[in-house]
Chains A and B, each alone.
Chain A
């Protein structure tokens, strides 16, 4: 739990999101090469490390965010690689990562077309699981299946109170 002194609601939300990502990683199980895109300021790196991820590729779309993230590295080799790339055209080979995480990005995209493009790109680079945060909804879940993923698990941020969800998706075999 976050420290109570100087406590902010955002801290609680952030703590809960980290907890859910940890569960998704535990359920995904396979920690080969892992991708965190967009990594933001690197707020979830400690979760990846604690869950035993050895090879983390942290990627960001924004140069400003990436510069901040570079100052937040947990060790010289963690994350292993920091890269600036478009989320819609990731600089990685097909099926090159075992687990990908995309948190707090998908729901900010405008329109289904953009969201589908992002999902297809993750389907291309990912060969195992994708942990993706989104607002709950039937159309969202349809998009996942159309883009080549099955919903394995769903984790609610605050059941009933919030529409924020973390989906653990598995690529169709």
Chain B
């Protein structure tokens, strides 16, 4: 049913917009058929108090998880499951505002995280809090792994730090998150490879905290 995506299809007189959502992530296609797009929108348009929400829209974006015996499932549903799981085990993640599936179209609306910075930028902001940020990041990742889940795309940009909230660490973009203890080592290795912002001492400190969190 869905036709080609035309981002500039609506003329201003045709669509009297009182708000203009900001395109956060340009169109990505999968197999030349499906696509994924992310907009940042005003919170009040979705009846939430947050200043911003992020609206992820996908068309024919599927995964084939083992838990469904290889049957297809929208990627965003997988993210929704992961967000709920993280929320249950006490890991800070964005709040789910709305999730809906309309045939092959899927949409997930999540709250924005106010005054937050990606991990590498947060570490540069305040030298005094570096240790606290590293400890919180290790705790979040360790806790996720302790419950047998992996993030699947751990990197600086997917770990948001809120310096004004005692360096609270939020995990975002859980589209690839899934259960599977055998993937934990790979998940951690990916993070350590991507987070070149840590010094050698900091990496050791991170691993010590991570092991503590992993042990519970």
Contacts and interface: CB of A to CB of B under 8 A. Distances in A.
- Are A and B subunits of one complex? yes
B69 interface: no
Interface in B5-62: 5-7, 9-10, 14-19, 21, 23, 37-39, 41, 44-47, 55-57, 59
Contact of A43 (B17, B23, B38, B103): B103
B3 interface: yes
A70 B10 contact: yes
A82 B3 CA distance: 16
A90 to B, nearest CB: 10
Interface of A: 10, 14, 40-43, 61-68, 70-72, 81-89, 91, 104-105, 108-110, 114, 117
A71 B98 contact: no
Given A43-B1, A70-B10, A71-B2, A64 B17 contact: no
The 6 A-B pairs at the shortest CB distance, nearest first, are namely: A64-B57, A71-B3, A70-B9, A86-B45, A63-B21, A40-B102
A135 to B, nearest CB: 14
B204 to A, nearest CB: 43
A45 to B, nearest CB: 10
A92 B15 CA distance: 12
B187 interface: no
Contact of B16 (A10, A41, A91): A91
A64 B59 CA distance: 10
A67 B103 contact: no
Given A86-B45, A108-B99, A66 B3 contact: no
A173 B88 CA distance: 46
B4 interface: yes
Contacts of B19: 84, 86
6 contacts: A64-B37, A64-B57, A67-B6, A70-B9, A86-B47, A108-B100
B175 interface: no
B105 interface: yes
Given A62-B41, A71-B6, A105-B100, 7 more contacts: A41-B102, A63-B21, A63-B41, A67-B10, A70-B6, A82-B10, A86-B19
B107 A64 contact: yes
Given A63-B21, A65-B105, A86-B46, A72 B3 contact: yes
